Amino acid sequence: MQQDNRSAVVVIGGGPAGLTAAYELQKRSSRHRPLVFEADKIVGGIARTESHNGYRFDIGGHRFFTKVSEVEDMWHEVLGGDFITVPRLSRIYYRDKFYDYPLKLINALVNIGPYESMRILLSYFKWQVRPYRKEENFEEWVINRFGGRLYMHFFRSYTQKVWGINPKEIRADWAAQRIKNLSLFKAVWNAISGANDTASLIEEFEYPRLGPGMMWEKVTELVEEKGGEVNLRSEVVKVNRDGNHVTSIDVRQWHEDGSAPTESRVEGDHFVNSMALRELIHAFDPPPPPEVIEAADKLKYRDFLIVTLVLDHADPFRDNWIYIHSPNVKVGRIQNFRAWSKEMLPDQNTASIGMEYFCQKGDGLWNMSDEDLRALASQELETLGLAKKEHVIDAAIIRQPKAYPVYDGEYREALDVLEEWILSLDNFQTVGRNGLHRYNNQDHSMLSAMLAARNILGENHDVWTVNVERSYHEEFEVKKPAKPSMKTALAAE
């Protein structure tokens, strides 16, 4: 495949990270040629846009917001006028009531009632006086900052829904990464004062008019225009190495006509990976030492599925999305794609509603037939009082494995082992969300890929610290002041 004398850079995965690595490399060097291999039939990874009978939808709504100026620059460089600014409206549904989100004091007090509000406050003071000495897990971290009562109402059930495990089994670093330094007082002050200077509590956000996939389809075009390759239906099944030097990958190519897949070997000078670390480690030939494989097997993931329901009338609610904390329904979050961009729908007299379920590959939800999922989602929409199920006229179901890297008790140690071994390879880097097993949004997934591309060109960046330390250093580049937010406290991604 190396038809010219440019240095071949093999990129595993055509999601935001893989495509950004290819784009950045071509932007900075004419001596390198990226060869991207993507297992799926479309680009964009978890940030792709799927379509069904003309209805376009995300794998969970994807907002474009960032504190990283170079990422923002790339977004605008690529899509320019195709970005729209979307006013944000979202609420939390809990115990048959809708709470404004971000929280507004009067609305919250009316919903909770004065008696329960007092109990929340007392519980907060109690935990301020006698906090957990050591904050090892998510529950302890949150209770120390918000008190036990608020934790019980707004954190426990949703966190349980998202992760499928007891919040005590989730490491405190997840909370620290997502919630940062917010306290109950800051949250209440924001609610009273309407303070809104945080990146996450933005009242509006950017969005490509045809969904996030539009960004990645455009980047693919640009990479190909400059002579790079983006190969779809191309699953990397082996990463071949000679000692600490990676020599080639084996690619299984799936054909559109359904004929038997073919395999080929592709050599490269440099390699950038964005597939999940656990699978990557198993793809190496010869395999890494047993302790590295053992560490990889400790990494866990949370899967996700979305049932997009088309309704025979427009907008059953005005929100972009609603978080569903109530434990009596399985749905975790509900999108209204027309409120993201009207161009996501071919018919403005209909609605496209994304019912999001957090699940585990192989569990009851994941294994449900498409018809049963459609019936479940339609019924839950009706139970929540948002639309009658007889108004559902079409549905599309997408199952997304490995949507979330899990931060459990053993992941951190395992990751240290993997990092050390991967860093011993002299021409191989891993980037992105599952490629670093980090809860990264597109921006940090992209930033790690940009840095990897620059490393190939002779710079020296530590991609493993993106979204760990760098988020603090970034303050210099921040356009809006970065303050902690309650967004991810109450509602994960």
Ligand X SMILES: Cc1cc2nc3c(=O)[nH]c(=O)nc-3n(C[C@H](O)[C@H](O)[C@H](O)COP(=O)(O)OP(=O)(O)OC[C@H]3O[C@@H](n4cnc5c(N)ncnc54)[C@H](O)[C@@H]3O)c2cc1C
Interface residues with ligand X (CB under 6 A) are: 12-18, 37-40, 45-47, 59-63, 235-236, 274-275, 304, 403, 432-435, 440-443, 445, 493
- Cis preceding linkage at 167, omega within 30: no
Closest separation in Å from C-beta 434 to ligand X: 6
User: Do 251 and 37 meet the contact criterion of CB atoms below 8 Å apart?
Assistant: yes
Between 123 and 440, whose beta carbon lies closer to ligand X?
Answer: 440
Q: How far is the CB of 273 from ligand X (least distance, A)?
A: 9
Residue closer to ligand X by CB (options 266, 417) is 266
Identify whether the C-beta of residue 309 lies closer than 8 Å to the C-beta of residue 353.
Answer: yes
302 residue type, one letter: R
| 75 in Cβ contact with 23 (< 8 Å) | no
**Shortest distance (Å) from residue 188 CB to ligand X:** 26
In the complex, least distance from residue 435 CB atom to ligand X, rounded to whole angstroms: 6
- Residue of 47, 21, 23 whose CA lies nearest to 219: 23
Q: Rank residues 29 and 441 by Cβ distance to ligand X and give the closer one.
A: 441
For residue 117, give Cα distances in angstroms to 97, 160, 173, 190, 450: 15, 23, 29, 17, 47
Q: How far is the CB of 416 from ligand X (least distance, A)?
A: 20
Closest to ligand X by CB, 109 vs 202, is: 202
Q: Which is nearer to ligand X, 103 or 452 (CB)?
A: 452
Tell me how far, at minimum, the Cβ of 62 lies from ligand X, in Å.
4
State the maximum Cα–Cα separation within the chain, in Å, rounded to a whole number: 74
| Minimum CB distance to ligand X, residue 232 (Å) | 9
Distance in Å, CB of 476 to ligand X, minimum:
21
- Closer to ligand X by CB, 8 or 46: give it: 46
CA distance 445 to 448: 6
In the complex, the smallest distance separating the C-beta of residue 463 from ligand X, rounded to whole angstroms, is: 12
Nearer to ligand X, 135 or 380 (CB): 380
Nearer to ligand X, 33 or 62 (CB): 62
The span from the CA of 74 to the CA of 221, in Å, is 15
Least gap, CB of 55 to ligand X (angstroms)? 18
By C-beta, is 131 or 164 nearer to ligand X?
164
Closest CA to 451 of 13, 10, 28: 28
Beta carbon of residue 354, minimum distance to ligand X (angstroms, whole number): 10
**Residue 292 or 306 with smaller CB distance to ligand X:** 306
150 vs 486 by CB, closer to ligand X: 486
